[in-house]
Amino acid sequence: MTPLAGFVIAVIAGWIVRDPRRAAAIVVVPYLAVVAVQTWALADGRGVSPPDTVWPVKQAIGYYVVQVIILALALGVAALLAAVRARRVASPDGAAGIDRRTAIAVVVDAVLTIAFIVGALLDSAPVRHHSTQGSPPVQGLLGIGACIVSLIVLSVLTIRGRRAVARAKLAGSAVPARRPQVTGQPRHGH
């Protein structure tokens, strides 16, 4: 559940907020809320994986390391998407729009996080036979894949955008400055 939830939360934050740091920051609390619910459900025997996947912590370090990696992927998606959107979409409302977009992203992510949590709780029930293979569920694999593919695509777009800006600056500085021509005065030599 966490990879897919992290991906959706990151896309919403990065799409709405055009400041990479703010977009990434918006992802943290909703993602941790989803992780907390998933961890509780697993510990209570309500997941595909057995309860010893999450508790005791000494034996479950792998689970928590994976959650940190998924959080890092989600933060990267949010930040890169925000950077790409900031370069492509000019905002007419300036600084005031940043706060408004941040508030919108926080509200949308909060609502979706609550929906993820309520859906997970309503769908959860004690499981009699847990998976012993240790493989994540399909939605987890889809979420991880979506995060990785998004990071690759957004990284390429970001690098290409930065190169284009650098080329434009280089081309702009290579053009000699022209002196403004005063109208109404005859040019010499004509």
Residue 175 in any domain: the answer is no
Residue 44 in any domain: the answer is yes
Distance, in Å, from the CA atom of 185 to the CA atom of 176, rounded to the nearest integer, reads 23
Residue 171 in any domain: the answer is no
Residue 114 in any domain: the answer is yes
Residue 113 in any domain: the answer is yes
pLDDT at 81: 92
Q: Tens of pLDDT along 100-142?
A: 777 777 777 777 777 777 776 676 666 665 555 656 777 788 8
Q: Tens of pLDDT along 32-83?
A: 999 998 888 888 887 777 778 788 888 888 889 999 999 999 999 999 999 9
Task: Give the contacts of 10 (CB within 8 A, at least 6 positions apart).
Answer: 23, 27, 73, 74, 75, 76, 77, 78, 81, 147, 150
Residue 169 in any domain: the answer is no
Question: Whole-prediction pTM value?
Answer: 0.71
Range of the domain at 100: 2-158
Distance, in Å, from the CA atom of 112 to the CA atom of 43, rounded to the nearest integer, reads 23
Spatial CA neighbour of 1 closest among 118, 129, 145, 138: 138
Residue 134 in any domain: the answer is yes
Query: Contact, 27 vs 79, CB < 8 A?
Result: no
